[in-house]
Amino acid sequence: GSAKISDQIRINQIGFYPSSAKQFTLVDTKASSFKVVDGYKNKVYSGELIDLGTWEASGEKVMLGDFSSFTAPGAYYVVINDTIASYPFKIKKELYLPALKAAIKSYYFQRASMAIEEEYGGEYARAAGHPDDECLFHPSTGKSKGTLNSKGGWYDAGDYGKYIVNASLSVGQMLLILEQYPKMMTNIGLNIPETGNGIIDLWDELRYELDWIQTMQDDDGGVYFKLTAKGFSGFIMPGDYDLDRYIIGKSTASTLDFAAVLAQASRLYKEIDPEWSEKALDASEKAWAWAEKNDNIAFKNPEDVSTGEYGDNEFSDDFFWAASELYLATKKDTYSNAMKKYEQEYKHQLADSWKNFVRNVGFHSLLENKDELDAEFANSLIQGHKALANEILQKIDRHPYRIALDDFEWGSNSDILNQAYILCVAHRLTGDEKYLLGAEQISDYIFGKNATGYCFLTGFGSKKVMFPHHRPSGADSIPDPVPGFIAGGPNNDRQDAHEVTYQSEFPAKAYMDVEASFASNEVCINWNAPAVYVLAYLQQVRN
């Protein structure tokens, strides 16, 4: 017979590497077995479904199918009861390469202060916006005169702001993959203006942001918090924007995250650009010195400002990340002592938001350079990371969707990707395949094996995200959104419920593919960063 494609089967719509774990879920359907068929409807595999009961967060009765042992490259469907079929998927080498390229290229599309030329952006070409060369100082910076040239960098998200804390985090997360595989994508250009200059494109793309980050440091070493207008603009293209742009606030977190990522970058760009590397380290040490003297300044939006706050009043994790990177870059005792002191306060946690994930970035840099640490310290970090990764694996094993998350907050997709990130680092550390399989099961969720059925990477999958809360995608009059963005994902706090009618009461389904849904359908640089890391890592080790 001819089975109909059904949303009841949830599967990674991009597919699987031949050696990957291969699973799907079937919800609210009576069945006991499944088949995998090829494009000619030939059965290539059959298996039994495992009943995993009802998932409280989605209200669904979930069955799991596993065909990991089937490895033949090709294009396939899962078929149930000969009546319903999954979206098509592939088994192949190079599987994640197109998604990886798009996820990195999304940063190019987010570049402020320059035009996106047709040569590089195709139909998404657009005029330049936000020159940001004469930004005003908001009184919250302590300044009243003059302007700041703070051009460049990426737009944070669906809005046109630029925020230091999660800019630093995003670059920090992506630098790890370049540290691990400095030559990855050597011959694979992203078609950005720098392509072909002899430097791998991701290094250049990150520099675009790092160069902006550096403009945000005050003469005293402290680092401003953000560059935005006083409020968000409407859904217009960058070139149509005309609000005054301000430099706003100065805080302990922004100063420490700046110190951290610039120390990390100074170490990793030493060969590519020694002069830049030296300046970056200098700026980093000045920032650290400022933060030591101003160790408890939380950023709060001033009364007349309503753009993103990135609220955080716990700084031990930011101190830890900065001290770790400064130690690796300088080997100075002061940083080593600080790093060990703050590590004592490090708590292994799951489902960390950006706010806490900075500590993990420090942790990952140290693990990658464990031979440069004293043996006892290194050993405690290794044991700690393994324990955290094992805890994630245990949760996956008990979870009907094979993820380790039941709380769906703002940007839940990044919480999930960050768990996959931790598992990839555990694989790197131990070589143990189980961590890789876990990272893959989690990635499947992002690309379709989830309670909404969406593939959350714009431009990919069959059930596509079409209306992200992303100003250029909304204003450019092109039907498809700009490709390569991870949507925020289910968010049970529903802060946009006054504007968005959610179709489900369940936390894992609190997602709406509508432009107004800033709480569930925005894009953001620090949600794409773990996607870039995980896609790149899997592409490196599975290919």
Compute the distance between CA of residue 477 and CA of residue 29 in angstroms, rounded to an integer: 39
Closest CA to 129 of 105, 107, 109: 109
Choose between 39 and 231: whose C-beta lies nearer to ligand 9MR.
Answer: 231
Both tokens assigned to 502: 């959610």
Compute the distance between CA of residue 7 and CA of residue 192 in angstroms, rounded to an integer: 37
Contact between 159 and ligand 9MR per CB under 6 A: yes
Q: Applying CB under 6 A, which part among 36-44, 146-154, 184-192, 303-311 lies near ligand 9MR? A: 303-311
Binding letters toward ligand 9MR, positions 223-262, x by CB under 6 A: ----------------------------------------
Q: Least distance to ligand 9MR from the beta carbon of 155, Å?
A: 9
The CA-CA-CA angle for residues 97, 98, 101, to 5°, reads 85
Choose between 354 and 435: whose C-beta lies nearer to ligand 9MR.
Answer: 354
AA letter at 528: N
List the one residue from 310, 485, 502, 511 that touches ligand 9MR (CB under 6 A). 310
Choose between 268 and 487: whose C-beta lies nearer to ligand 9MR.
Answer: 487
Active site residue 513: yes
Residue/partner pairs of 278-285 with CB below 8 Å, 24 or more apart: 279/214, 280/210, 280/214, 281/329, 281/330, 283/214, 283/217, 283/258, 284/258, 284/259, 284/260, 284/322, 284/325, 284/326, 284/329, 285/259, 285/326, 285/330
Q: Least distance to ligand 9MR from the beta carbon of 407, Å?
A: 13
Q: Least distance to ligand 9MR from the beta carbon of 283, Å?
A: 25
AA letter at 264: Q
Active-site residue, from 60, 194, 312, 513: 513
Identify the residue whose tokens are 């949303």: 7
Q: Least distance to ligand 9MR from the beta carbon of 166, Å?
A: 7
Contact between 516 and ligand 9MR per CB under 6 A: no
Identify the residue whose tokens are 């998927």: 89
Binding letters toward ligand 9MR, positions 260-299, x by CB under 6 A: ----------------------------------------
Compute the distance between CA of residue 210 and CA of residue 171 in angstroms, rounded to an integer: 8
List the one residue from 411, 474, 483, 507 that touches ligand 9MR (CB under 6 A). 411
Residue 22 main-chain phi, psi, to 5 deg = -130, 110
Cβ pair 228, 135 in contact under 8 A: no
Choose between 327 and 456: whose C-beta lies nearer to ligand 9MR.
Answer: 456
Identify the residue whose tokens are 């298996």: 47
List the one residue from 524, 529, 532, 535 that touches ligand 9MR (CB under 6 A). 524
Contact between 420 and ligand 9MR per CB under 6 A: no
Choose between 37 and 157: whose C-beta lies nearer to ligand 9MR.
Answer: 157
Looking at residues 63 to 122 of the shown chain, list those that interact with ligand 9MR (rule: CB under 6 A). none
Compute the distance between CA of residue 482 and CA of residue 366 in angstroms, rounded to an integer: 35
Compute the distance between CA of residue 13 and CA of residue 15 in angstroms, rounded to an integer: 5
Active site residue 159: yes
* Residue with smallest beta-carbon separation from ligand 9MR: 308
Active-site residue, from 469, 476, 496, 515: 469
Active-site residue, from 159, 205, 209, 415: 159
Active site residue 469: yes
Q: Applying CB under 6 A, which part among 153-161, 366-374, 375-383, 472-480 lies near ligand 9MR? A: 153-161
DSSP string over 92-160: -TTTTHHHHHHHHHHHHHTBSSS-B-HHHHGGG-B------SSEEEPGGGT--S-EE-----B--BSSS
Sheet of 23-27: strands edge to edge? 9-11, 23-27, 60-66, 50-55
Active-site residue, from 257, 318, 444, 522: 522
Contact between 308 and ligand 9MR per CB under 6 A: yes
Contact between 353 and ligand 9MR per CB under 6 A: yes
Give percent helix, percent strand, percent coil of the chain, each to the nearest 5. 40, 15, 45
Active site residue 385: no
- By annotation, the residues acting in catalysis are 159, 469, 513, 522
* Residues of the shown chain interacting with ligand 9MR in the complex, contacts defined by CB under 6 A: 156-157, 159, 161, 308-310, 353-354, 410-411, 522, 524
